[in-house]
Structure 1
Amino acid sequence: MVASKLEVLVDLGPKPDERVLEKTLKELNSQDDVKQAVFKDGAFMVETTLPSTVVLDMVAKTSGKRAVLQGFGETQSAVAMVSSQVCCKGGVLGVVRFQESPDGALIADGSVDGLRPGLHGLHVHDAGDLSQGCSTIGDHYNPHGSPHGGPTDPLDRRHAGDLGNIVADERGRATFRIVDNVLKVWDIVGRSIAITERRDDLGRGTSPLSKINGDSGSTIACGIIARSAGVFQNPKRICACDGVVVWDERERPLAGRGRRETGDVQKPCCKTETQDVKQCCQREKAEVQKPCCKV
């Protein structure tokens, strides 16, 4: 199996507890799927074949601290924020990360919530156009004009973007790690990743759609694939202007009301009264109207 290197940042405070560090490293290194785990430059460096979400959960549970993935992969990396592209609650939401390993294989590592339990197709599409949601992302990425197939099929019998299926558990969460020998990071940056409502039959079904999209139904979630930071390439600890620390960022909306409600945390951009700061802080007070939720 191809291993990935993860940079896991943990909320250890100004002076890390050596006992917590030792306990966490011992737990990580005891896993058969962890090649090596060390603490370096304020973060855990983990080389593993486990999905990143599994590692994050393990670190958080063992240390008793909040943990976030700060960097993924040493070589070319990309990421997509996947959602059902609707502003109301109850949709599909997740993250898919991509890394090109030193031997050229592409690793797709993801965690997606809000799915119906069972199998769902996962595909890279031609376009990174979300102007009309997932309906404008184009067809499967297929530079060689091949029929639809499965990820283990040769290139003349699969779309380059065919990544097979992911499995959602009874809670609606799919955690996965796929190794693909066709796609490259720079082929997919600017394109999109999509999840379908049904299982992909990998081009082996009897439906006329089998050789087109695996008869996997409509797209229920998608996201644009963008370049991302590898390990120790992202020094961010606090978000510019709005003062939301990296620990709280994933638990808050991306914008609008509620973004900067940090309790007793002082908002750095609101400490002075310059014109630029005033404009920045006005965003906190603005109510973001969600058009699809008006009716």
Structure 2
Amino acid sequence: MFSKTLVSSFLLLASLSQIQANFFPHHEPTPPIKAIVYLRGPEANSTVTGSVVFEQASGPNEPVKITGTIKGLTPSALRGFHVHQSGNLTDGCTSTGAHYNPKNQTHGAPNDTVRHVGDLGNVQTDANGVATLNFTDKVIQLTGPYSILGRGVVVHAGTDDLGKGNTNVSLSTGNAGTRAACGVIGLA
């Protein structure tokens, strides 16, 4: 009797699972795809804020356009800008983890062949500490197994040396310093 009930329960669950798959299928977003991240400093008194938009106009492996504005940074400076492993902000920007690196590469510049997926280099600030972003990246993706959706973005307080510092820290973080602001990438 128990065995018959167990088999019946299993068949019922399998049927419900198939019904759910038919009525509520999981879909990857289809291009064009737009995502956004709202950035803010991890401390209550931080003045760093911003928003960045990621747009992928056509299919997978196509470049992603990155536009946005970040305010409150050090004037006339280069500041590290990366996609990080996690969208977890429970411990401020620290809980976003390391740079997004699913291919287990060393840190590099955006145009390097060997780099983390999340290595987006530096953003340049103006005399007022405002960085205006408008560039494309050929490595990050908004769909597929290496999608950056749901991951963290971090703006660092220092300049990214692009992995050229000849130290282990340079090869893992670019010596970009502390985390000035962060946020989670979501569909726009």
TM-score, scaled relative to structure 1: 0.50
Provide the rounded CA distance (Å) in 2 between the counterparts of 1:217 and 1:113: 18
Aligned residue number for residue 42 of structure 2:
85
Alpha-carbon separation, structure 1, partners of 2:85 and 2:33: 20
State the SS of the aligned residue for 2:171. helix
Whether 1:113 aligns to 2:110 is no
Q: Which residue of 1 aligns with 2:171?
A: 211
Q: Unaligned stretches of 5+ in structure 1? A: 1-73, 229-295
CA contact (8 A) 1:207 1:215 kept: no
Q: Partner of 1:209: helix, strand, or coil?
A: helix
Amino acid at match of 1:137: T
TM-score of the aligned structures, taking structure 2 as reference length: 0.77
Higher relative contact order (CA 8 A, sep 6+): 2
Correspondence 1:42-121 to 2 at 5 A: 75-88=32-45, 90-102=46-58, 104-117=62-75, 118-121=77-80
What do residues 103-123 of structure 1 show as CA deviations (whole Å, max 9, x unaligned)? 611111110000002000100
Q: Deviations over 1:127-148 (max 9, x none)?
A: 0000110010011000100000
Cα deviations across residues 29-88 of structure 1 (Å, max 9, x unaligned)?
xxxxxxxxxxxxxxxxxxxxxxxxxxxxxxxxxxxxxxxxxxxxx711100000103333
Give ranges in structure 2 of 5+ residues lacking alignment. Answer: 1-30
Q: How many residues align?
A: 152
Which of these residues, 222, 226, 232, is aligned with residue 182 of structure 2? 222
Do structure 1's residue 184 and structure 2's residue 184 form an aligned pair? no
Corresponding residue for residue 138 of structure 1: 97
Distance across 2 between alignment mates of 1:204 and 1:148: 9
Extract structure 1 runs of 4+ deviating beyond 2 A: 85-88
Amino acid at match of 2:161: D
Name the amino acid aligned to 2:142. V
